[in-house]
């Protein structure tokens, strides 16, 4: 299951994701200060982390892994 929330974040943060290990759900937080298109882009990026969590990566490793996949 994926839960998504909109919160006021600093403008340089599009969003982030965490995994609730007790419920095994992915939680995505998007920046409510950004427009729909930017939030959609951020959401699509963040849902890609679900497979990374399943592989056992730490939060710091996630961004390294995901960004290296893109080139």
The model's pLDDT over 38-67, given as tens digits with 9 standing for 90+, comes to 999 999 999 987 777 677 776 667 667 666
The structural domain count of the chain equals 1
- Tens of pLDDT, residue by residue over 12-39, are 999 998 888 899 899 999 999 999 999 9
Give all strands (DSSP E) within the chain, no chain letters: 2-7, 15-20, 25-31
Say if residue 69's pLDDT is above 90: no
pLDDT of residue 71: 46
List, edge to edge, every strand of the sheet that includes 2-7.
2-7, 25-31, 15-20
Domain that holds residue 65: 2-69
């Amino acid at each position: 299951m994926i839960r998504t929330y909109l919160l006021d974040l600093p403008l340089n943060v599009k969003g982030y994701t965490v995994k609730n290990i007790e419920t095994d759900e992915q939680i995505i937080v998007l920046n409510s200060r950004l427009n729909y298109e930017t939030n959609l882009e951020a959401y699509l990026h963040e849902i890609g982390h679900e497979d990374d969590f399943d592989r056992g990566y730490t939060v710091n490793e996630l961004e390294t892994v995901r960004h290296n996949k893109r080139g």
